[in-house]
Amino acid sequence: MNETIYIKLLEEGTTVYRPVNALKLKDGIFKILDKPETDEVWEFQFNAIVRCIEKKLSGDFCLIAIEKVLS
């Protein structure tokens, strides 16, 4: 099942997150399905398998990618 997760953008000067499509593999583990369309530098790249946690962003709880998981 696809879900929206958030990936931290690097080289922004402040903390910024990008929403991306990801495939849920199991609880808290997702495979990133999107690729950057601009010159953004993402903390995790297309096809990476990442662990996510819920974090409150702008008043809503979102799934934030926190680490790459070895496949």
User: 42-57 in b/e burial notation, b at 16+ Cβ within 10 A?
Assistant: bbbeeebbbebeeeee
Residue 12 reports pLDDT greater than 80? yes
Distance CA 32, CA 13 (A): 24
Asked if 33 and 43 touch (Cβ cutoff 8 Å), the reply is no
Q: Write down the domain spans for the chain.
A: 2-68
pLDDT band at 1 (very low <50, low <70, confident <90, very high): confident
Find the mean pLDDT for residues 17-46: 95
The first and second tokens of residue 69, run together, are 């998981």
Find the mean pLDDT for residues 29-47: 94
Residue 56: per-residue pLDDT:
93
